[in-house]
Structure 1
Amino acid sequence: MVFKTNLNYIRIAFLLVLLSGGRLLADDAQANALLQQGRVDEAHTLLQTMLSAQPGNALAHQLLCRVYYAQEMEDAAIQECELAASQDPSNSNTQMWLGRAYGMKASHANPLVAFGLARKVRYAFERAVQLDPENVQAMNDLGEFYVDAPAIVGGGLDKARALASRMQPQFSSQSHRLLALIASENKDMTTAEAEFQKAVLAGRTPSAYIDLGQFYQRQNQPDKALEALKAGIDADRRKDASLVDAASILTAMNRSPQTAESLLREYLSSPARSDDAPAFKVHVQLGNLLTHQGDPASAHREYAAAVALASNYAPARRSLQGS
């Protein structure tokens, strides 16, 4: 009887562990869903509660890093991603977000500090790709680093070309995009245009069309830019962050403000919202557009919506106070 009773206790304990694990997975999923929807205040509260009970939850630390990153709070983002990386060093996505957080801080730092951070950016992106050779987002980040960074911190166009070659068999469109960036860095705009066009042909994805449109915008070819953007918008069945990119380019060109407004509103009502374009930032972007259109009342509502989602996002608070 004693043995049977002890066995029952073991079964109960095992069941509790399973239930606890399932609850933690559900909490992780809920926190991620809140992050994707741009509801970062709610995500922050949930993640802090989770981490107070489970401080070793690496995924929760990674998600909290992304919550801070979305709000441009680089120091807090770095701290959380470093914790996530120390607890789960084999996670490619965590290394990628750590590299992004280092990069954000480097972009605001003095040259001496930025030099040290750039090395950390490179290591994190290279580690992310090493851990998961199919992490195409990390490959894109690493490729852009190689193109933009000087050799002294690990950049270099030869490295970028080698990476593009590795990407070609499985990620042809992204490979051509990287080759286009390399050509642009070399001031070879003919080759850059051809590579951006090849990226479109390789996948006909919304992002590839948007990249081509941005290239034409920078080359002061607005008609070609508009044609590429329209193709990208038409190809975006999911209504994802590509809509926001298209709206941003239209605004930069001072073209079709009504279309830009429509795209931003369409994204904000889409189930494909993500932290690629955090909803609270899009509300601020829409508010700025409405301000320029002479509609301060509607702009104020957008700024208020942004603050309601992300009360610590400084640009949203400033815009609301000034509206």
Structure 2
Amino acid sequence: MKKLLIILLILPIYGWAQTNFEKAEKLFHSKKYNEAEVLFEGILKSSPSDIKTLEYLGEIAGHQKSWVKGAAYFKKLKTLKPNTADYFFKYGGCLAMRAVEVNRLKAFTMVGDMKEAFEKAIELNPKHVQARWALIEIYLQLPGILGGSESKAIAYSNELAQFSPVDGYLSRGRIEDYFKRYNLAEKNYRKAHEIGNSKVTFQKLYNLYLNKLKDPKKAGELKQKFESS
């Protein structure tokens, strides 16, 4: 009788949580992030370790550009689910976006945690594309005295090439572009576009022709060919 009474007391609470979770999900998918956040935060009060609720709140924080809040959610998620690569990647991503907003001295203090998060994502998922891209950017943009390294950026680009040739060529093109070696950047972006023939590969090569090589003729020919394909 006592067990039955407990079940009868719990069921309405469980039903309320499910109903609110479903409402919050619908609001999230409708991009009504503020409304969804209120409901998810209410659910989190009664279930502080609910994985899906934390994940949604982390995503909402990202959409709202609330990087500190997002980092806190994904930090908790990577603690609760230490074998999920994306939680480490998204934690590092929130830190990286926050670093863009703060002064350089503060940003540099965050680099170690960023690198550690992205490296852990790769350890857990050896084919994690985005984590390698993030590390390439870190090694490109950091001054050498603080750990910046073209050779390390190239090493991650080479790793990408092993399982994603398009990303391999795009990332190598990005490295050459960053150091203003535009002819080498063109070579790599062109190879990426030959393989991928996507909006992303087109845009990289098109922007290089138009803005870096100052060759509107090549840019126009590329655009015409891409739009007719």
What is residue 216 of structure 1 aligned with on the other side? 209
1:125–1:142 CA contact under 8 A, matched in 2: yes
Counterpart secondary structure, 2:163: coil
2:88–2:120 CA contact under 8 A, matched in 1: yes
What is residue 149 of structure 2 aligned with on the other side? 156
1:106–1:114 CA contact under 8 A, matched in 2: yes
CA distance in 2, matches of 1:214, 1:96: 28
CA distance in 2, matches of 1:139, 1:191: 21
- TM-score, structure 1 length as denominator? 0.59
Equivalent of 1:170, from 151, 157, 163?
A: 163
For residues 282-293 of structure 1, the aligned pairs below 5 Å read: none
CA distance in 2, matches of 1:86, 1:212: 41
1:177–1:196 CA contact under 8 A, matched in 2: yes
Question: 5+ unaligned residues in a row in structure 2: which ranges?
Answer: none
CA distance in 2, matches of 1:28, 1:128: 30
CA distance in 2, matches of 1:76, 1:144: 23
Question: 5+ unaligned residues in a row in structure 1: which ranges?
Answer: 1-5, 236-323
**Which protein has the bigger helix share?**
2
Count, aligned residues:
220
For the pair 1:60 / 2:26, whether they are aligned, the reply is no
CA distance in 1, matches of 2:53, 2:204: 33
Counterpart secondary structure, 1:134: coil
CA distance in 1, matches of 2:139, 2:227: 30
Aligned partner letter, 2:141: D
What is residue 259 of structure 1 aligned with on the other side? none
1:150-185 superposed Cα distances (whole Å, 9 cap, x missing partner): 344443111111112212121000011111111122
Equivalent of 1:110, from 99, 103, 106?
A: 103
CA distance in 1, matches of 2:42, 2:116: 31
Aligned partner letter, 1:180: G
Aligned partner letter, 1:95: F
Q: Which has the higher contact order (CA 8 A, sep 6+)?
A: 1
- TM-score, structure 2 length as denominator? 0.80
Equivalent of 1:47, from 23, 27, 40?
A: 40
CA distance in 2, matches of 1:216, 1:29: 48
1:210–1:228 CA contact under 8 A, matched in 2: no
Equivalent of 2:189, from 193, 196, 200?
A: 196
Counterpart secondary structure, 2:136: helix
